[in-house]
Amino acid sequence: MASSTRTCNLITDYLSTHDPKAQPGRKGRKMMMQKLQAFLLWKQHFSHKSDDSGKPSFGVSKDNNNNQNTLNEALQRKDKERVFRSQNRRRVRGGAPAATSDRQSTPAATSSEPKTKPDEDPLAEFWATQVEGDSAGANVTLFNIALTQRLLESEYDDYFGLVAPEETVVVRAYSDDSDDRMLAELQPRFIVMYEPNMDFIRRVEVYRSSYPGLGVRVYHMVYGNSCEEYKYLAGIRKEKSAFERLIKERAVGSEVHQPCA
């Protein structure tokens, strides 16, 4: 039991991906790697989106943008001066001044592969070869289908069968009165509270008294010497003081005696 659906989703991911045979500290490595990959994909998508919109990304100040613009203007000015100097050079006999270009021309790549004829259809040839080989491998295909069917029937219970109640793990967030109905339907023997909740504790006490033969066990997960533990203990003290005050008020309160007839 947890206080939010987000926490329940995290617990579900950890329980479904953890490796019990791994070394201590590495049992949840698969889940953490999945979270890291999701974060990197989100970061890459966000960087592309910021580049498309033209807005500066986080961590880049206006001074850096101004310096970049100044540097670009200086480079453009330098390129213009270089082109102007190259045009003013002495002419070569019988020719015009050599024109300089930053980019080198590359010859167009010519492919020596022969072009396919329009009448040839690769898809038709593929289907023709498949039709010729179907008759030869028909028996092998039927055998593979029968073997696969037997394997599916034998493994159906392992993957799609009903799970025993002793092996069922339900991760759920705290709710209102539906928690009572959930406890009555599932009848769990072990209840783990990831975050303590006073209302749910009282519901568990009622459930335990209603089913005394189940031997219900309740486990709390609280960080020691933390604000969470202090809040939980403060709630218990407040509830205890409220009950004591109610008992004292009942004991001291005036009693009404009716006169005898």
Q: What is the DSSP string of the chain?
A: -BSSHHHHHHHHHHHHH--TTSPTT-TTHHHHHHHHHHHHHHHHHHHHHHHHHTPPPTT--HHHHHHHHHHHHHHHHHHHHHHHHHHTSPPPTTSPPPPP-SSPP-PPP---SPPPPTT--HHHHHHHHHHHHHTTTHHHHHHHHHHHHHHHHHHHHHHHSPPPGGG-----B--STHHHHHHHHH--SEEEESS--HHHHHHHHHHHHH-GGG--EEEE---TTSHHHHHHHHHHHHHHHHHHHHHHHHHHSPPP-PPP-
Please give the model's pTM, rounded to 2 decimal places.
Answer: 0.53
Q: List the one residue out of 138, 140, 137, 136 whose CA is nearest residue 148.
A: 140
Tell me, what's the pLDDT at 80? 79
pLDDT for 143: 56
Q: Which amino acid is at 140?
A: V
pLDDT tens track of the chain, all 261 residues? 998 999 999 999 998 888 888 888 888 888 999 889 889 989 888 887 776 665 554 444 545 556 566 667 777 777 878 777 777 655 555 555 544 444 444 444 444 444 444 445 555 565 566 545 555 455 556 556 665 666 666 666 676 777 777 788 899 999 888 888 999 998 999 999 998 888 899 999 999 999 988 889 999 888 888 888 898 899 899 999 999 999 988 888 766 666 665
How does pLDDT run across 220-247, given as a tens digit for each residue?
888 888 888 898 899 899 999 999 999 9
Residues 222 and 232 sit within 8 Å (Cβ to Cβ): yes
What pLDDT sits at residue 7? 92
**Token representation of residue 234:** 């403060």
pLDDT at 107: 44
How many angstroms separate the CA atoms of 31 and 63, rounded? 41
Residue 108: predicted pLDDT: 42
